Structures are given as C-alpha cells and as structure tokens.
C-alpha cells in the first residue's frame, strides 16, 4: 500500500514535468538511471533498442518503462537528437538522503537538433546552426537569425520573400528552426516537408540585450530575441560565449540555390551523402576544426567583390610561393585545438583540466604562426596578423595552475600544480607527511613484532588499520593494539596514534580536493572573461587555415590564379573538373577550354551520351565557385566575369533511375533561372526537356533558349541530344554550337572527351548501347525501329550503327551508311529561307486570308485544301 502511494506520487511528479515538454522525450532521473515512461518508453525502446518493461507490472494498468544508465546516457541522447527528436533531461535537484518526501526534480536542459553541442570527430568540421525566423505584420519583411551554440557565432539578415528564407535555411543546413507562435504556417509546412524540425517560442526581452545592439531593424531584432529566448529556455546554462550579433547581407555573395549546390556536389556527394567525391573533399586540407568549418562557410558563400576576392588570392599566392613557411605554418596549426568550441565549453562551465591544457597548447602555437607571417612580410597579412592575439596572459595562467597531464575529473584532485597555492601545498604536505608517517609506522611495527607481512591498510569503513594474518597472530603481544575486525584469515587493529593521524590525513585530503576544485573554477571563471579574445583569435586562425589549404591544394593539383573582367568575357584554357580529375587521375582526364567572348551568350553542346557534356558544364560551374571563393582554379589560364548567381538544371547520374527527374522538376528549376537570372548570371541547363515526349521537349527547349538569348543575356551552357536545336545558330546571333568529339573505330565508339567547335553530326545512342554490352540481336532490332521511325517522320535522325546484319539493306540503311563517310548532312530547315515552295505559298495564303469574311465551313474547306497540298509534297 505504502509502495503504491509512493509510486503514484512519483508518477504525478513525472506527469507534471512531462506536460511541460510534450514534444520531447523526458529522461527522468531515478538513482543511477534515466527512465522513460508511457509513450516515450514505447517509442524510445524501439529507437534505442532497449528492453521495454513496466512499472507496477502487476497492477491493472502497468506503465510502460525503459531506462538507460546515467553514465552512458549521452550516446542515447545523441541518437535520438540525431534523428530529429528533442530530449528533456530531468535531474534530481536535491540529495535524496536529505529530501523530505518526494525528491525534487527539474529539467536542466532540453537538447534539440539545433542546440546539440556534442563533440564528435566527424562533426568537428561541420557547423550546427539553429535558425530563428520572424515576419513583420504585413508579411513582407522577414528577419532571420542563426546561432551556432558550440562556438557562439550569432548572425542575422533581413529577407523579403519566403522563398529566400527557405533557401537561406537550406543553405545553412539548419536542422531546427524556431518560429514565433502561429506565424509563418506555410513556411512551417515547407520546412516540415524537408524534415526540418520546427520549434515554437515567443520573443521576449532578454538579459543580455547588448548582444543584439548590432541589429538595426525591428524584424532583425525580433529574430535575435526569439532565438536567444529559445536558447535560454532550453539550455538553462551559462551562455557567456555568445558573440554580439552580426548583420549580414545574403546577396553580397554569389547566389547558388539549393538545387544547384546539391547537383554540383559542392559539399555532399549525392550518392553517399559524404564529403568524399565533392569539391569540399578536394579543397579541404585544413589542419584545424575551425578552419574546416570556415572553409565550408566560404564554399557556401563565394564572394562578389573583386577586391575581396583578390585579397584572398594574394594571400593564397604568397603562401603558395613560400613552401617552407607554409609547411611551418601547417605544423603549428596541427597543434591548435578547436578554440571556438573550447570557448563555448568554458562558458558552459563544462571544461576540465585537459581542456584548459588544450587551450594552453593551442596558444603556445600562436607565436610560431605569427613568426611565419613575420617572415612572409606581406602587407596583406596585416589584417589577419592583428587578429592573432596569442593570449600570453591566459596561457601563463593555465600553465602556472594546471599540471601537465591532468585527470578527467575536476573534483578528485591532482589538477592543480604544486606551488600555485600555499594553502593547497600545506594540505598536500600534511597528506604526504601522513603517508610517510604510515610507512614509518609499518616498518617500525614489523621490526617490533617480528611480523614481516604486517601491513597498514585503508578502507572506507574502518579508515586506516593494521592487518596481521592469522598465522602470525601468535607472535603479536597480547594488548599491543585494539582489535577492530576479524576476517577469515586475518585480524585488523588500530592504535590511538593511528586514529589521530588518520583524522589529519583525511581532513587534508578532503580539504585539498575541495580547494583544488575551487581554484579550478576560479581559474575557469577568470578565463571566461577572455572568451571574446579567444574567439577573435579563433577567427583569424580559421581564415589562415583555409588560405593555407587553398595554397596547398592549388600547388598539389596545379591550379592557377584566375583574373576577372567586367566585360562578360570568359576564357578558360584547358580547364579541368577538379573532382573528376582527382578520381580519374591527371593522365586520364582530358582538359577542355571554354571561350565565350562578350558577345557569346549561349553555348549549345551536342555529343553522344557519356561523352562528357555534363562534366564540361559542371567543370565551368566549379571553376567559377572556386574563383569567387578566392581560390585558384584547375586550368592553365582563366579569365572570368564575376557572376552574381549560378543556376543549374543538371541531372545527377542517378536522377533518372530514382525517377526524380520528372518533367515538373525540370520545368521548376528552369523557371527559377528564367525568373531570377540577370545578364551577370551563369545558367547551366543539361538536357532540358528529356523528361517529356520529343516534340514537347524540343519545342520547350528551343523556346527557353530563345528566351534566355533574347531577354536575359546570361552566359548559358545548354546541352542537348535534340539535334534539331543545332540550327538555332542561324537565327540566334549570340549562340554558338560546340560538341564533344567521339570517333567510331571498328564499330566501337571511342570518346575523346574533347570539346570542339560546331554541332555534333551524330548521336551515337545505339553505339553506346553496344558499348554497354547489349545483345547484338537487340541492337539490330533497335536499328530497324530507328530506320522505320525515320522513314515515317521524314525526320533527320542521325543515329548510326555498324551493320552486322545479313538482311538485305533497305535504301535508308545504305543511305545511312554512306552518311557516315560523307560530310554531315544539312539538317531539317527551321527558318523561312529554307521552306519548300509549297510551304512558302501556303504561308502566304494563311497570312492573306480574311478570316472574318468567311463562314466556319468555308474556313474548314480552306484548311482541308492546305492540308491536301502539304501531304502531296
Ligand atoms: P554526358 O553528359 O555527355 O552523358 P558525362 O559528362 O556524364 O557525359 O561523362 C561521362 C563519363 O565520361 C564521366 O563519368 C567521366 O568518367 C568521363 N569523362 C567526362 N569528361 C571527361 C574528360 N574531360 N576527361 C576524361 N573523362 C571524362
Ligand atoms: Mg549528361
């Protein structure tokens, strides 16, 4: 009965707390375990592979329950949060021994996907941004703020459309977005569709309002308040490391929408989801976690201002040309720990002696880093140089206080160096002396009694005692000691002197431990004051690390410094795709140039499947991104305009397989480009229209090219397998045909991967199928079908295949075979100068017909006659 009441009281407390966190798993601390109940337990057991049990199993309505030991809880919490859930950690906040009635419990932290600050190696180079969004009353202006809780980075920007907000959130790769109340329901729905967790909070005045002083407009301010309110509510801990908010301009960077970033595989391999096989993978030779994160930030936001780009370029060039100094720098950077996240942990109060030693070790590298910059003696480094405060005072402080190899725990002593604090030294002396005294006592008593294995020992229950084994008891004078305990094979004794000494030793030990902890927290708080300096240093080191990585990679992969012009001239000599090149090896990769003078707007690329069209287009986009990041580029020479945006409709290799490349997706992406591109943009459209039937596809492709050519004037690469389109160069002044070369050799297709001027004269579909090893019989059949189609449509179908058939050749086939040897045939006319005389006649008739002066039946008859005439032809 008593038990039942206790049960009920506890479950009441549980429920009360759970009600405050309905959308989180409640980890409810009982003794050494965190327990989950009810639905949390059922779902948690499944997600965490725990055994589901029940509380009060024998009652009518047993409560589902599962639990995890508190010492291994972190793994379980991370597992849930990684899957997009929230976890509320509820602790016992008073000593159960002292509690009157129910032990008090409180949620001490709400861990959410956007506030997770774990420190795994694989996430060290990735930022985890929590984003907050608000909108003004008119739903016109959006404020967006984001924070990285582990480093304290806080930024905000103002945007004028929901699409822009969504794009920014995706670019930031936020896993969680905070919105105010019921605002923004359509955004919320979109986010949820993308698997991004949406949390709610109300912006409220915050304690450290000065953090938001840099945010000028009211939506920005509200976004900042919303975010900080949420962080304060969920984290319930010291956030001294949060940096003053910085306002940024999203459109001061090269814009790449989410699709383009994804398709170009800038940071994430489409197939594996990993960094390997991406531009980031090639570029990342950073030595610090901070540098790794900064590199990703630069990659997400290439620059627009030539001066800014050129400043980075000059630094890269200097580092590239100074091999020896660069290596010295790299060696120093290797020993710099994650200063940003250390600063965060110092603020949270979660650091131990080892963390502080990591800080000191890192700081010790800074003079070496500065020495390298001194030697380079380049004025461009001045800005970076002044960020490199070596925090000598902090380093001295740590080195004076902390032993060189401190233990993990900060409460069990052994952290503080001798000589740091007089009182501590005294306690330690006392402990030390006491221990000597015990050793002396043991020696002395062995001698006095002649019992050689007599020992002075210690346990928690009896403290210090003298132990004599049973066999030796006879040698012990009757009342030399007083007995405290009898064991099976030994007796334990004490003496008044031993008791007195014990008191002194224990006291000294206890006092020294608590004094050490006190000294440690004092030191930590003192260093906490210096967090902004640590953060500034971290920023400088991160940039320097990225620049050395650029230099190193540019040297290793033979990149060159690109130049920029404002005349819309694009000229890349022997460019390479940086990722494909590293996969294939420089010997295998065929470099390709690209030239678009100020007048050229559209390059129409034809060529067989698998010849390298997509690779060529991607190559250009990656070179542009690299150039505008301030990195060198894979080419022999490169001159580029500065692009404001890049749009791509590039099917991934597996796009078709996954059925994702629906016509709708293609059209949406194309539309995005048509709506927002400017004459300074780069548009890459890869085989647009292949998601629909041929005629639709050709028609739309042609109309889109014309539209870009006539109205947008953006530099555009358009690859196509619609041969018909190659005639567009006759109508469109700023369009040029290029093709990827391939030759046929002994009935096999050999790809040259080489871009050449003019349209391709063949589309080798069936040959590619042969290369892929399809059965001969099938290939012959394909050829027959093709010939039929050609005959029926009277269309110019150029596919050709070596004949192995013994069947008598149809005229078409023979014709086709001859075509292989002959120069490319003239394709079907599209412009009026090439119309047949009947067609011309009819067009004239249509133009001149007076529609209003005729009855519907007369018109019908007219159309019928026209049709007859055309069919006769
Ligand atoms: P397409 O788009 O014309 O079908 P891709 O661009 O997808 O062809 O290229 C097909 C394959 O050809 C690539 O996976 C790559 O292995 C190879 N390739 C493409 N371009 C080159 C090149 N310049 N040098 C060497 N190999 C290339
Ligand atoms: Mg392709």
Q: Is 808 annotated as a binding residue?
A: no
Q: Which atom of ligand 1 is nearest to the CA of 611?
A: 3
Name the 3-class secondary structure at 645.
strand
Total residues found in the chain within this entry: 873
Is the residue at 702 inside a domain? Answer: yes
Is the residue at 406 inside a domain? Answer: no
Hey, whose CA ends up nearest to atom 15 of ligand 1?
612
Residues 474 and 589 in one domain: no
Would you state the pLDDT for residue 763? 46
Least confident window among 679-688, 714-723, 754-763:
754-763
Residues 675 and 643 in one domain: yes
Q: Which atom of ligand 1 is nearest to the CA of 591?
A: 23
Q: Which atom of ligand 1 is nearest to the CA of 751?
A: 12
Residues 673 and 590 in one domain: yes
Share of the chain above pLDDT 70, in %: 89
- Ligand number nearest CA of 656 is 2
pLDDT in tens, 28-83: 999 899 999 999 999 999 999 999 998 877 777 889 999 999 988 989 999 999 88
Q: Which atom of ligand 1 is nearest to the CA of 590?
A: 24
**Residue 666 C-alpha to ligand 2 middle, in angstroms?**
14
Q: Is 693 annotated as a binding residue?
A: no
Q: What is the mean pLDDT of the chain?
A: 86
Is the residue at 13 inside a domain? Answer: yes
Residues 603 and 746 in one domain: yes
Per the structure, the complete domain to which residue 156 belongs is given by: 121-252
- Ligand number nearest CA of 616 is 1
- The CATH number given to whatever domain includes residue 514 is 1.10.1420.10
Q: Is 840 annotated as a binding residue?
A: no
pLDDT in tens, 98-116: 888 889 999 999 999 998 8
Contact 198, 188 (CB under 8 A): yes
- Ligand number nearest CA of 609 is 1
pLDDT in tens, 280-295: 999 999 999 999 999 9
Residues 89 and 164 in one domain: no
Determine the Cα–Cα distance for residues 239 and 344; give it in Å rounded to an integer. Answer: 8
Q: Is 612 annotated as a binding residue?
A: yes
Q: Is 607 annotated as a binding residue?
A: yes
Residues 334 and 247 in one domain: no
- Residue to probe by mutation, ligand 1, list 580, 648, 718, 764, most atoms within 8 Å of CB: 580
CA neighbor of 48 nearest in space, from 85, 92, 18, 15 = 85
Would you state the pLDDT for residue 137? 87
pTM of the model: 0.77
pLDDT in tens, 506-565: 889 899 999 999 999 999 999 999 999 999 999 999 999 999 999 999 999 999 999 999
Last residue of a domain, one of 84, 111, 138: 111
Determine the Cα–Cα distance for residues 790 and 785; give it in Å rounded to an integer. Answer: 9
Confidence of residue 662 (pLDDT cuts 50, 70, 90): low
Residues 578 and 645 in one domain: yes
610 close to ligand 1 (CB < 6 Angstrom)? yes
Is the residue at 580 inside a domain? Answer: yes
pLDDT in tens, 518-534: 999 999 999 999 999 99
- Residue to probe by mutation, ligand 1, list 610, 623, 649, most atoms within 8 Å of CB: 610
Determine the Cα–Cα distance for residues 128 and 177; give it in Å rounded to an integer. Answer: 12
Is the residue at 140 inside a domain? Answer: yes
Residue 827 clears pLDDT 90, i.e. is over it: no
Confidence of residue 651 (pLDDT cuts 50, 70, 90): low
612 close to ligand 1 (CB < 6 Angstrom)? yes
Is the residue at 792 inside a domain? Answer: no
Is the residue at 369 inside a domain? Answer: yes
What residues have a C-beta under 5 A from ligand 2, the ion? 613-614
Is the residue at 811 inside a domain? Answer: no
- The CATH number given to whatever domain includes residue 134 is 3.30.420.110
**Residue 730 C-alpha to ligand 1 middle, in angstroms?**
29
Q: Can you name the residues that pair with 684 across neighbouring β-strands?
A: 648, 717
- Ligand number nearest CA of 617 is 1
Residues 214 and 303 in one domain: no
Residue 175: how many CA atoms within 13 Å on its side-chain side?
Answer: 17
**Residue 612 C-alpha to ligand 2 middle, in angstroms?**
7
Residues 552 and 584 in one domain: no
Residues 665 and 728 in one domain: yes
- The CATH number given to whatever domain includes residue 53 is 3.40.1170.10
Residues 572 and 690 in one domain: yes
Task: Count up the domains in the chain and report the number.
Answer: 6
Would you state the pLDDT for residue 792? 67
Q: Is 477 annotated as a binding residue?
A: no
Least confident window among 39-43, 72-76, 735-739, 759-763:
759-763
- The CATH number given to whatever domain includes residue 742 is 3.40.50.300
| DSSP result, 385-453 | HHH----HHHHHHHHHHB-SS--S-SSSS--BPTTS-HHHHHHHHHHHHHHHHHHHHHHHHHHHH--TT
615 close to ligand 1 (CB < 6 Angstrom)? yes
Most confident option among 259-273, 490-504, 619-633: 619-633
Residues 759 and 635 in one domain: yes
Q: Is 127 annotated as a binding residue?
A: no
Would you state the pLDDT for residue 249? 85
**749-765 average pLDDT score:** 77
**Residue 577 C-alpha to ligand 1 middle, in angstroms?**
10
């Amino acid at each position: 009965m008593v038990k039942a009441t206790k049960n009920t009281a506890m479950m009441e407390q549980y429920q009360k707390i759970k009600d405050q966190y309905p959308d989180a798993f409640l980890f409810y601390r009982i003794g050494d375990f965190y327990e989950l109940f009810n639905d949390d337990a059922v779902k948690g057991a499944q997600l965490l592979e725990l055994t589901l049990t029940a509380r009060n199993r024998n009652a009518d309505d047993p409560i589902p329950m599962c639990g995890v030991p508190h010492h291994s809880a972190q793994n379980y919490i991370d597992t849930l949060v990684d899957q997009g859930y929230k976890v509320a950690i509820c602790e016992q906040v008073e000593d159960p021994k002292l509690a009157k009635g129910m032990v008090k419990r409180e949620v001490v932290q709400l861990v959410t996907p956007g506030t997770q600050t774990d420190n795994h190696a694989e996430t060290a180079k990735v930022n985890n941004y929590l984003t907050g969004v608000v909108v003004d009353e008119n739903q016109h202006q959006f404020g967006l703020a984001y924070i990285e809780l582990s480093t304290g980075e806080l930024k905000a920007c103002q945007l004028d459309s929901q699409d822009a907000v969504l794009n920014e959130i995706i670019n930031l790769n936020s896993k969680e977005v905070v919105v105010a109340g019921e605002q923004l329901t359509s955004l919320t729905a979109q986010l949820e569709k993308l698997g991004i967790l949406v949390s709610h909070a109300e912006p409220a005045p915050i304690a450290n309002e000065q953090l938001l002083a840099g945010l000028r407009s009211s939506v920005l301010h509200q976004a900042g308040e919303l975010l900080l309110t949420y962080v304060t509510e969920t984290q319930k801990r010291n956030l001294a490391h949060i940096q003053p908010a910085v306002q940024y301009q999203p459109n001061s960077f090269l814009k790449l929408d989410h699709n383009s970033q994804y398709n170009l595989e800038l940071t994430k391999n489409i197939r594996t989801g990993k960094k390997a096989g991406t531009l980031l993978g090639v570029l990342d030779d950073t030595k610090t976690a901070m540098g790794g994160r900064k590199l990703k930030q630069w990659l997400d936001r290439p620059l627009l201002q030539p001066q800014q780009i050129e400043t980075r370029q000059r630094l890269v060039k200097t580092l590239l040309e100074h091999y020896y100094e660069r290596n010295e720098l790299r060696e120093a950077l290797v020993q710099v720990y994650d200063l940003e996240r250390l600063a965060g942990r110092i603020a949270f109060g979660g650091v131990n002696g080892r963390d502080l030693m990591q800080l000191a070790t890192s700081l010790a590298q800074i003079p070496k880093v500065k020495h390298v910059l001194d030697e380079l003696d380049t004025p461009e480094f001045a800005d970076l140089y002044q960020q490199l405060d070596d925090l000598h005072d902090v380093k001295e402080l740590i080195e004076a206080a902390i032993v060189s190899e401190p233990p993990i725990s900060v409460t069990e002593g052994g952290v503080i160096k001798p000589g740091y604090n007089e009182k501590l030294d005294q306690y330690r002396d006392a402990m030390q002396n006491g221990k000597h005294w015990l050793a002396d006592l043991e020696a002395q008593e062995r001698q006095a009694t002649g019992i050689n294995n007599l020992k002075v020992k210690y346990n928690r229950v009896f403290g210090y005692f003298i132990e004599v084994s049973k066999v030796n008891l006879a040698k012990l004078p009757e009342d030399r000691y007083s007995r405290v305990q009898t064991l099976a094979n030994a007796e334990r004794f004490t003496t008044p002197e031993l008791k007195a000494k014990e008191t002194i030793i224990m006291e000294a030990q206890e006092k020294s431990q608590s004094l050490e902890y006190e000294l440690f927290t004092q030191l930590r708080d003192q260093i906490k004051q210096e967090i902004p300096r640590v953060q500034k240093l971290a920023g400088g080191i991160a940039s320097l690390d990225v620049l050395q990585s650029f230099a190193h990679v540019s040297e290793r992969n033979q990149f060159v410094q690109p130049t920029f012009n404002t005349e819309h001239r694009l000229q890349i000599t022997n460019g390479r795709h940086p990722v494909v090149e590293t996969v294939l090896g420089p010997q295998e990769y065929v470099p390709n140039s690209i030239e678009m003078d100020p007048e050229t707007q559209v390059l129409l690329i034809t060529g067989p499947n698998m010849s390298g069209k997509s690779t060529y287009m991607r190559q250009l986009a990656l070179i542009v991104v690299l150039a505008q990041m301030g990195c060198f580029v894979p080419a022999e020479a490169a001159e580029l305009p500065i692009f404001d945006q890049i749009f791509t409709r590039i099917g991934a290799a597996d796009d078709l397989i996954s059925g994702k490349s629906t016509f709708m997706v293609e059209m949406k992406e194309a539309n995005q480009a048509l709506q927002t591109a400017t004459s300074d943009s780069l548009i890459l459209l890869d085989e647009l229209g292949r998601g629909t039937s041929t005629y639709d596809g050709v028609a739309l492709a042609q109309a889109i090219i014309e539209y870009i050519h006539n109205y947008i004037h953006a530099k555009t690469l358009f690859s196509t397998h619609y041969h018909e389109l190659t005639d567009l160069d006759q109508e469109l002044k700023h369009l040029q045909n290029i093709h990827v070369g391939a030759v046929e050799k002994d009935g096999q297709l050999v790809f040259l991967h080489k871009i050449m001027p003019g349209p391709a004269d063949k589309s080798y579909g069936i040959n590619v199928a042969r290369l892929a090893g399809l059965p001969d019989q099938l290939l012959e059949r394909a050829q027959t079908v093709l010939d039929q189609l050609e005959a029926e449509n009277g269309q110019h179908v150029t596919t050709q295949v070596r004949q192995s058939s013994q069947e008598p050749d149809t005229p078409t086939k023979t014709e086709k075979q001859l075509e292989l040897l002959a120069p490319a045939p003239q394709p079907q006319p599209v412009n009026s100068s090439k119309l047949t005389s009947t067609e011309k006649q009819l067009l004239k008739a249509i133009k001149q017909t007076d529609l209003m002066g005729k009855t519907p039946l007369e018109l019908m008859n007219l159309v019928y006659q026209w049709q007859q005439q055309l069919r006769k032809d």
